[in-house]
Amino acid sequence: MAVEVTTLPSGLRIITDAMPNLETASIGVWIGAGSRHESASEHGLSHLLEHMAFKGTKRRSAKQIAEEIEAAGGDLNAATTSETTSYYARVLASDTGLALDIFGDILTQSVFDPQELEREKSVILSEIAAAEETPDDLVFDLLTDAAYPDQPIGRTILGTPERVSSFDRSSIETYLTRHYAAPSTIIAAAGAVDHKAIVEEAQTRFASLAATSAAQMAPAHYVGGTQLLKRKLEQTHLVVGFQGASFHDEHEFALHVFCNAVGGGMSSRLFQRVREERGLAYSIYTFHWPYADTGLFGFYAATGHKDVAELMPMALGCLREAVDDLTEDEMQRAKAQMKVAWLAALESSAARAEQIARQHLFFDRVLPREEIIGRIDALTLADVRQAGAGALLSAPTLAAIGETKKIMTQAKIAEFLA
């Protein structure tokens, strides 16, 4: 990696990673603000702001924004997570200046036209309605709500229809001023990039970003709990979760390996026992989501209503047994999967740009690949088992949609794992 970093006097960071032989560049702006930074009255505002950024500025209409980037063969997109918001593009090497000009325009000169705002609110209301009709996604919203009750991290990124409908231009501008500050903003680019040229463009395009520190997000407190939603569906969608590891937790890599070993692939014991041997689920897998100060670990399954009662203890048994008898071979397979997935992502300029931005947001530095691979290779079987055991000691979180009568209770899950 040929990473270069420049921090401007305002606190704005510019990070580039040159990739020889490429003729295109992935470039974007990452803000250290997402749904976790919202107050209860702002629920869904981060996501609405991401949408509204493309709806017109003092210099460009929404149509002109789209036409300019597409005339150059590029494309624009954006994403909101619980902890970050990003705006990114893929362009020819010669058009990184155009991309930065558009980013600077939409992030510092947006007009938030009331008519555009009403239209975009309608789009998001449709997005919320669609999410409500997608049980394999909705069940994870129930999970985070149960795991982190009455906390920003537990709320959906999209917001609620009532709250989204209430937002006006003043709401957006207040949030933008408070959170979109230079010290919490990173411009990252990878591919055919010229670091010096990008720094010069950024100095001009983002000069108006305030140098003040952005407001901090609310700390997370994992609680655990239950959220069941009875619906007439062909399958029951269920998730059982536990407290995982944060980005800064010394056990994060070990828990990732435990997660992959138990349910991360077709050779995993969870897939083999539950799906292949018993045919109790078409889809079943483990997951681990690290955040800045917490994490969620668990498994998801979609199963027939009659199979729920058998699936749950079998899946939980796979987790419990792995704490004591996970093998060296299983661990090595999981390590290999983890390394290949991570290294393969680095072959994409978009993935590299995102990675260097996120690492600087969470660690204030870019982690060398040798360091990451070294940390994975250094893990012992005892480390991995210990990380899994620690997660299973936390209070369980249970979420399900469908027929819920045969689902184990939170108390029964805790008793089973004790």
Q: What is the pLDDT of residues 356-386, one digit of tens each?
A: 999 999 999 999 999 999 999 999 999 999 9
The pTM (predicted TM-score) of the whole model is 0.94
Per-residue pLDDT for 346 more than 90?
Answer: no
pLDDT at res. 37: 95
Contact 97, 108 (CB under 8 A): no
pLDDT at res. 81: 97
pLDDT at res. 260: 96
Return the CA Rg of the chain: 23
pLDDT at res. 290: 97
Condensed to tens digits (0 to 9), the pLDDT of residues 93-114 reads: 999 999 999 999 999 999 999 9
Distance CA 324, CA 330 (A): 13
pLDDT at res. 345: 84
75-80 and 397-402: which strand pairing?
unpaired
Give Cα 313 to chain centroid, integer Å: 29
pLDDT at res. 110: 96
Rounded average pLDDT over 13-26: 96
Distance CA 200, CA 196 (A): 6
Per-residue pLDDT for 162 more than 90?
Answer: yes
Mean pLDDT of the chain: 96
Q: What is the CATH number of domain 226-417?
A: 3.30.830.10
pLDDT at res. 35: 96
Type and span of the H or E element at 191:
strand 185-191
**271 DSSP assignment:** I
Rounded average pLDDT over 146-160: 97
Expressed in angstroms, the distance from the first to the final Cα of the chain is 46
pLDDT at res. 348: 94
Q: Is 50 a catalytic residue?
A: yes
214 pLDDT band, cuts 50/70/90, is confident
Tell me which residue has tokens 């309608």. Answer: 122
DSSP string, 250-309: TTHHHHHHHHHHHHSSTTSHHIIIIIIIT---SEEEEEEEE-SS-EEEEEEEEE-GGGHH
Distance CA 220, CA 263 (A): 26
Per-residue pLDDT for 215 more than 80?
Answer: no
1 pLDDT band, cuts 50/70/90, is low
pLDDT at res. 146: 98
Contact 224, 148 (CB under 8 A): no
Per-residue pLDDT for 2 more than 90?
Answer: no
Residues 2-205: name the CATH superfamily. Metalloenzyme, LuxS/M16 peptidase-like (3.30.830.10)
Q: Do domains 2-205 and 226-417 have the same CATH topology?
A: yes
CA nearest neighbour of 375 among 315, 418, 335, 327? 335
Distance CA 376, CA 339 (A): 8
CB atoms within 10 A of CB 58: 9
pLDDT at res. 171: 95
pLDDT at res. 235: 95
pLDDT at res. 223: 97
Q: Which residues contact 176 (CB under 8 A, 6 or more apart)?
A: 49
- What is each CA distance from 191 to 23, 24, 99, 291, 351, in whole angstroms? 7, 6, 14, 27, 10
Q: Which of 4, 38, 42, 50 is catalytic?
A: 50
Per-residue pLDDT for 53 more than 80?
Answer: yes
Query: Domain ranges in the chain?
Result: 2-205, 226-417
